[in-house]
Amino acid sequence: MTIYIGGATDEELKILKLRGEFAKKYCTKKGWDIDNLSLEQLLEIRSRPEWEKPLTNQESTLATILAHAIKDHLIYPSPSWLESLNLNNEYLEKSEI
C-alpha cells in the first residue's frame, strides 16, 4: 500500500523511506514482529542513530565503503573525484576501516 503525504519535500520522503527500511532491518535483527511492537521496542528503535539521522548514517556508510575500496587498492581516486563527492581523505581516514 502506498501512502501519499501531501506537502512533504523530497528530503522528508527520503528520510521516511530510510527510517522505514532501518526499522524493518532492526526488527528482523532483533527477532521482533514489526507489526506488533511494544512501546519499549518503539523507543529503542527511535533512539538509534540510524533513526535519528538517517541521511548522515547513509553518508557515513558511503565513506566507509570508499575507505575500504581505497585501502584494498580496488580504486585509486583522484583528489578532484573525492572533492566532487564532498568527501576528502581526512574524512575517509576517520571512517571505520
* Residue 45 shares a structural domain with residue 58: no
When pLDDT is cut at 50, 70 and 90, the band that residue 32 belongs to is: very high
Tens-place pLDDT, residues 49-85:
888 888 776 655 666 667 767 777 777 767 776 666 6
C-alpha cell of residue 47: 533512539
* pLDDT top residue among 87 and 75: 75
* Residue 96 shares a structural domain with residue 61: yes
* Residue 20 shares a structural domain with residue 46: yes
* Residue 97 shares a structural domain with residue 61: yes
* Residue 45 shares a structural domain with residue 14: yes
- Is pLDDT above 80 for 16? yes
pLDDT at 23: 93
| Residue 58 maps to a domain | yes
Domain that includes residue 20, residue range: 9-51
Distance CA 97, CA 95 (A): 6
Predicted model pTM: 0.54
| Residue 1 maps to a domain | no
pLDDT at 24: 94
* Residue 61 shares a structural domain with residue 97: yes
DSSP strand E in the chain: where?
none
| Residue 2 maps to a domain | no
* Residue 87 shares a structural domain with residue 69: yes
Measure CA of the first residue to CA of the last residue in the chain; give whole Å.
39
Q: What is the mean pLDDT of residues 28-44?
A: 95
- Domain count for the chain: 2
* Residue 46 shares a structural domain with residue 58: no
C-alpha cell of residue 7: 506537502
* Phi, psi dihedrals of residue 33, rounded to the nearest 5°: -85, 110
Half-sphere exposure of 32 (CA within 13 A, CB side): 18
